[in-house]
Copies of this chain bind each other. A is one copy, B any other.
Amino acid sequence: MTVAFARRMEKIRASEIREILKITQQCEMISFAGGLPAPELFPVEELKQVAVRVLQEAGSKALQYSTTEGYPPLRRQIAARINRKFGTGVESDNILITSGSQQALDFSGKLFLDEGDVVLCESPTYLAALSAFKAYLPRFIAVPTDEDGMIPGALAEILRTTPRVKLLYVIPDFQNPTGRTWSLERRKALIELVNQYEIPVIEDNPYGELRFENEILPSLKSLDSKGLVIFTSTFSKTFCPGMRIGWIAADRRYIEKYVLIKQGADLHTSSISQMELSRYLDLYDFEANIQNIITVYRQRRNAMLAALDENLAGIINYTRPQGGLFLWVELPKHITAVKLLTECLKRQVAFVPGDSFFPNGGVEHTLRLNYSNMPEEKIRTGIIRLADAVKEYM
């Protein structure tokens, strides 16, 4: 067969790791590999009520085509919530409802990236953002980053010397995969630099509300004085992921373009799902539900850190996230995470090797652990198994 795919398909490849991890769906496996929220906290009963109520109230309107921008009450609710939580200062016109925040990443690539354009990002960074952007054939430049965020001097130097920087992609709160949170100073420094070079910034914030201690730090969007920050988030981690509802909050000049892209991409996000979510926010105590999630995830993070401290302190390095779903491990340099994974799978414990989170690869002694989807007892057991495997390698 001679059928030719587009050149971008050379960059969009099946992940070997993904294939390996398919076996982690077995029952006996303790998987720290996924990024699944805890399903026992999904509002199943409430959604039964809400689903019936929406169909009673809106009837066939809930099932008809609807506007690309999204359900107006939901756009208002989102704008009000993020203004309150993240100081974003947006109106409902600044909101586009997307089919999960993954879609916001794909659309951002489509909106900004020609082949060969440069995307600046943290390293490591969210691997599915890399996948989304890769479809538009950019070049990634990893900005040197420490536990407080991108290093301003390094970012300044890159911006000064690199042509065709079109986009800056960051996850300032409880980053995936590291769990790190940017300091306020670093946030301010970033805004100063992007203002100077007028580079749009994707602030990807799926985890920001899940903070276990201290106060939420000002979002980049709240510090944004030139309308350059495109804030994207999702209900996947605070409500449920199965419905695929996320959003983009940005300046109107961006939203207008994103709307055109969404028209061509899928017309609009499910009318009935948007109405159900909106009605849920009206009728139930969403903030209390988020508090429940925080309480449970904090316990699970504590359990994971305690087990790591007990079994692997001094042998490996790991982050101590103040929120979110993940922590990040650096193994001794001679241990390759992919090989360790093979060993761990025999012991019925799984994780994601860190290499694929690096835009240009090449860091093989790292791995990501998820703690949101496993009860504390299993977390302890899983970390003990991981420790056994690591120690065998030492």
Contacts and interface: CB of A to CB of B under 8 A. Distances in A.
A98 B39 CA distance: 24
Interface in A251-279: 253, 256-257, 260-261, 263-273
Given A9-B111, A198-B3, A63 B253 contact: no
Contacts of A159: none
A27 interface: no
A39 B55 CA distance: 13
A39 B12 contact: no
Copies in the complex: 2
Given A135-B261, A228-B3, A60 B40 contact: yes
Interface in A144-162: none
A3 B194 CA distance: 11
Contact of A6 (B14, B59, B61, B113): B113
A288 to B, nearest CB: 18
Nearest to A259: B14
B240 A268 contact: no
Contacts of A257: 5, 9, 12
A8 interface: yes
Interface in A44-68: 44, 47-48, 51-52, 55-56, 59-66
Nearest to A244: B270
A131 interface: yes
B267 A102 contact: yes
A132 B110 CA distance: 12
Nearest to A274: B242
Interface string A1-28: 1111111110011100000000000000
B114 A135 contact: no
Contacts of A113: 6
Interface residues of A, number: 80
Contact of A55 (B47, B64, B198): B47
A177 interface: no
B99 A266 contact: yes
Contacts of A347: none
A103 interface: yes
A332 interface: no
Contact of A265 (B14, B106, B228, B256): B106
A47 to B, nearest CB: 6
A23 to B, nearest CB: 15
Contact of A242 (B40, B64, B166): B64
Given A65-B236, A100-B267, 18 more contacts: A3-B198, A3-B199, A3-B200, A12-B260, A12-B261, A14-B260, A39-B63, A40-B60, A44-B59, A47-B63, A64-B241, A99-B99, A99-B244, A99-B266, A242-B272, A243-B273, A244-B267, A266-B266
Top 8 nearest A-B pairs (CB, nearest first) are: A242-B271, A39-B60, A51-B51, A63-B240, A63-B242, A131-B264, A42-B60, A42-B63
Interface of A: 1-9, 12-14, 34, 36-37, 39-40, 42, 44, 47-48, 51-52, 55-56, 59-66, 98-100, 102-103, 105-106, 110-114, 117, 128, 131-132, 134-136, 166, 198-200, 226, 228, 236, 240-244, 253, 256-257, 260-261, 263-273
